[in-house]
Structure 1
Amino acid sequence: MAVFFSFSGYYAVLLLSNNLLGLSFSQYFTIPVRILIVLLLFICFILIGRKEQIKQPVFIAFILFSLAYLFRIAAEILSGVQNHMSNSTFLLYFLSFCFLPFLCLFLKKELFADLKFYKWAILLSGAILAVLSFFFYRDIIGTVGRISLAVSKDENYISPLALSYSGSLTMGVALLVLLTNTNSKFVKLMLWIIAGVSCVPFFLGASRGSVIALAFPFILFILNHRSKLMSIYLLIAFVLFSAGVIVLSEQFGSTVIDRFMGINEDVDSGSSSASRLYIWSYALGHFADNPLLGHSLEVPETGHYPHNIFIEVLMATGIVGFLPFMFVIVKSVKQTLYIFKNRPELSWVAAIFLQSLIQNCFSGAIYTASWLFFSMAFILSMNLAPETIASPTLHILGQRKVRA
């Protein structure tokens, strides 16, 4: 349940509350859901925690980064800096969205036993969000390029980014499970249906970042496949799939492909979607002024986060927080490459981390990067290595030989 609500299930609840009860009531649902997630993960940690994981270098690096970010929050509280939301809210969000989920999941035992439940929790939460998106917004599908052009923030609004990235994540997981796992005919049919309906939020949100997030894991998967012949087949399939996405985009009336191909024009024209380039410049400038401990939680010139988690970490925590943060990221990337090459049946796990990382390179903030910290803990807690962990199938076979 915690995994269900940590990903697309959270937005499904938000979508329901916004459309049935109105925006003013949404906080009465979203805040309890977030508290429920943390409580469930904490219970799992208490019941089946792995205390020996505390000594892992990657866990120590995560704690050091967290302390650096918490120091920045404390500094802003003590100095009375006014941000777009209260500094205590920064603290609450970071602890509930990032710190506690990472802590509880990284230290959890029996991860492989739970993989099947995690996989279907993510897939079903994405499918439910897709069905709800179709139900509530079916009248505007094919009529506008992006949902924000038809639904204002005063109406039954939900973030286009949330829709698009949720659709992208669900499609990516479903397709990789189809490619790399042995599935029954019924499961294959379910996976195709889930991938298909996820096109609805993907195209309604029309985010350029979600296009990159969807494509990037597949490109890495193809490049790291052990069989060169299979890599060629997969590359052909990827090209055909990309062509299908373009055709579907036209049918949906979505501007996701047009927006992606028009990045240069947006930069040249100085449109609002290209304004984050200026935000990045401001944030890097503040880091240059305070390279050791960082400068602030937000970019003072805009009153918002930089829309790039690496730049934000530099600006908020300086070198002190950036180095341990990068250590955790690099270890996670190494794990994903190992999975693609040696454990392809777990490629969907790697895809979640990569999609979350791409997402936070273009949008989102440290204190709301739930998907990223959740997926990093998920992938790092496996401790994958050829000499330490065999596949569940091999482990079962080994037990049978011993019994025999």
Structure 2
Amino acid sequence: MEIIKKLPLEVWFLLLIVTGYTIFSALAVPFNIENSQIFSVPFRVIVFLLSLYIIGKNFTFKKGKNIAVLAVIFFWLLYSLKSYLSFTNDFYENPFAQNYMDVYVRIFVIAFVPSLALLFINYKEINFSQVAKGFFYTLVVMLTVNMIYGVLMPAGKSLQFIFSMYYISYGHLGTSLVLISLFYFLFRSKEIPSYLLIYGMMLGISTIVIAGARSPFLAIMVAVPYLLVIKKNYKLISIFILLLLLSIIGIYFLGRNENFELMFVDRTYLWLFEGDNSLRTPLFKNALNIFKQNPILGGRTHFENGMYPHNIFLELLMATGIVGLIIYMLKFIPVIKNFKIFSYQIINSYHILFFTLFLQYFVLCFTSFTLYSVPEFLYFSSIIIGISLNNINEENESNDGRRNPSGDY
């Protein structure tokens, strides 16, 4: 209890950001509550209010003038304006046409303000070990409970899950657990018992398979090599490549077996060997056509039925044009300038973990959802940007200190 009392507000905020929705989204289904917003809305409101408080508490004009902060502010203001113009001038079908306000709420309450607040945190004062362990143990507990619930409450051929979220997001919970477990195994093996890490990996992989989505598997293919290359463990890299090849071969033969039914295998087989991208191609072409008609500032923000391109770059170009894409990408300049802190374990290995989780959700944004509906990507983006900004400030102060021993800086 004493440790809990001593945790600073910013650590609680980060814990809420990375673990909160996993917990709140698991409350409705077990109690047969159809409207899951009873739990999700209060959670989002709490995060929003805490975000406003943290911005007010940590705001300085120096931070406010930073290019990453300005990029976040100007992009979401631009996107909000484009949404207003699109909803006012373009035709949209119902029920999307009746829910414009929901889009504005998601933009400001879920996307914009929390992302901005994460940039104002002083990450030098954050105990990343507490945040990472909190995320690990939350996922282990919640996904274990989920498995038990699924076994006790079967739903036909598939296991029912307790989370009130899309099956793709559910699958990415498994990916997160695999990546966090592997991170601790490679870089912090003494902090969590090895049997728990092995259990975490097995539980995460099981979750990915049960969810049936393809992007969690693709995220594994992208993020795991990043961890192994940084660790420079070529034996593990070889083992990973071998396991990946065996998995693909297994998917090939099982996918061709008409007597075998598993959604993950069927969907992944169609994706890998038959080029099935779940009808994404027409969405991609439509987005490109809209962009070509308005290349500078983009055109409508959604398709007529409220759908979107399912690709972050195509959506940026479609909705905000070249200007919006440039503004959006400007926020990553500090990360590019300070990539060394995410590529060397001797600096702070937890930086590697958060960049890995960012990579995972970056992959998700390539294949699903819209700009404002993947808060995990937005939040982990802001975390690694905030870490980079703190590192820049620390280096500047250090250099200035050496030039000005009098301390007048």
Q: Same fold (TM over 0.5)?
A: yes
Q: Is the 8 A contact 1:356 1:371 kept in 2?
A: yes
Does structure 1 conserve the Cα–Cα contact (< 8 Å) formed by 2:73 and 2:116?
Answer: no
**1:374 match:** 379
How far apart in 1 are the matches of 2:307 and 2:368?
11
SS in 1 for 2:369: coil
Please point out which of 271, 279, 301 is paired with 1:263. Answer: 271
- Residues 296 and 315, structure 1, Cα contact 8 Å, conserved in 2: yes
1:76 counterpart = 2:80:
no
Report the equivalent of 2:236.
Answer: 234
* Residue 211 (structure 2) pairs with residue 209 (structure 1): no
Matched, 1:364 2:377: no
- Given that 2:27 and 2:163 are in contact with CA atoms closer than 8 Å, whether structure 1 keeps it comes out as no
Q: Does the 8 Å contact 2:223/2:359 carry over to 1?
A: yes
The code of the aligned residue for 1:173 comes to: I
5+ unaligned residues in a row in structure 1: which ranges? 391-404
Report the equivalent of 1:47.
Answer: 57
**Residues 199-208 or 358-367, more deviating:** 199-208
- Structure-1 residue corresponding to 2:353: 348
Alignment of 1:291-370 (within 5 A): 291-300=295-304, 302-329=305-332, 331-332=334-335, 335=338, 338-341=341-344, 343=347, 345=349, 346-370=351-375
Question: Is 2:39 the counterpart of 1:35?
Answer: no
Q: What is the CA–CA distance in structure 2 between the aligned matches of 1:160 and 1:172, rounded to whole Å?
A: 19
Q: Deviations over 1:2-41 (max 9, x none)?
A: 4444345414422330231332x21111111111122233
Q: 2:70 matched to which residue of 1?
A: 60
- Say which SS state the counterpart of residue 69 (structure 1) adopts: helix
Kindly indicate whether the alpha-carbon contact (under 8 Å) linking 1:9 and 1:129 is maintained by their aligned counterparts in 2: no
- Mapped to 2, the partners of 1:245 and 1:73 lie a distance apart of 43
- CA change 1:367–1:339 in 2 (3 A) is same
| Counterpart amino acid of residue 121 in structure 1 | G
Secondary structure (helix, strand or coil) at the match of 1:341 reads: coil
Aligned partners of 1:180 and 1:344 also within 8 Å: no
Q: 1:305-333 CA deviation, whole Å, 9 max, x = no partner? A: 11111111111111121111123346546
RMSD: 3.4
What is the CA-CA distance between 1:44 and the residue it aligns to? 3.1
Aligned residue number for residue 103 of structure 2: 90
Paired residue for 2:228, among 222, 230, 237?
222
Moved more, 340-349 or 86-95: 340-349
Q: For residue 187 of structure 2, what is the aligned residue in structure 1?
A: 180
Deviation by residue 1:274-299 (Cα, 9 ceiling, x = unmatched): 30111011111111111112111212
2:236 counterpart SS class: helix
Structure 1 residue ranges, 4+ long, deviating more than 6 angstroms after superposition: 140-143, 243-250, 384-388
Q: Alpha carbons of 1:115 and 1:278: their partners in 2 closer, same or farther (altered >3 Å)?
A: same
1:164 paired with 2:171, answer: yes
Which residue does the alignment assign to 1:20?
31
Query: Structure 1 residues 236, 36: closer, same or farther in 2, change over 3 A?
Result: same
Letter in structure 1 aligned against 2:202: G
CA distance in structure 1 between the partners assigned to 2:301 and 2:76 by the alignment = 13
In the TM superposition, what is the alpha-carbon distance from 1:344 to its structure 2 partner? 6.6
Note the C-alpha offset of 1:77. 4.2
When residues 62 and 175 of structure 1 are mapped into structure 2, their CA distance, relative to the original with a 3 A threshold, is same
Give the CA deviation at 1:359.
Answer: 0.6
Q: Which amino acid aligns with 1:180?
A: F
CA gap 1:276/1:7 in 2 versus in 1, 3 angstroms: farther
- Cα distance in 1 for partners of 2:378, 2:174 equals 19
Query: What corresponds to 1:10 in structure 2?
Result: 21
1:371 to partner: Cα distance: 0.9
Q: Following TM superposition, by how much is the alpha carbon of 1:54 offset from its aligned partner in structure 2, in angstroms?
A: 1.9
Count of aligned positions:
372
Q: Deviations over 1:75-130 (max 9, x none)?
A: 13443753626222111101122211111110112445231232123223322331
Q: Matched residues in 2 for 1:10 and 1:134: separation? A: 18
* Superposition pairs of residues 377-396 of structure 1, within 5 angstroms: 377-383=382-388
Which residue in 2 is equivalent to 1:99? 112
Where does residue 393 of structure 1 map in the other structure? Answer: none
SS of corresponding position for 1:61: helix
1:333-359 deviation line (CA, Å, top 9, x unaligned): 665564123547132111011011001
Deviation at 1:74, TM superposition (A): 2.0
Conservation of the 8 A alpha-carbon contact between 2:295 and 2:321: yes
| 1:265 CA displacement | 5.0
Please name the residue that 1:124 is paired with.
Answer: 137
Q: Which 5+ residue runs of structure 2 have no aligned equivalent?
A: 1-11, 255-259, 396-409
What fraction of aligned residue pairs are identical, expressed as a percent? 18
| CA deviation map 1:114-162 (0-9, x unaligned) | 3123212322332233123212222688984x66xx79xxx99642112
Aligned partner (choices 275, 281, 287) of residue 277 of structure 1: 281
One-letter amino acid of the counterpart of residue 263, structure 1: W
Change (3 A) 1:195 1:40: farther
Deviation at 1:207, TM superposition (A): 1.4
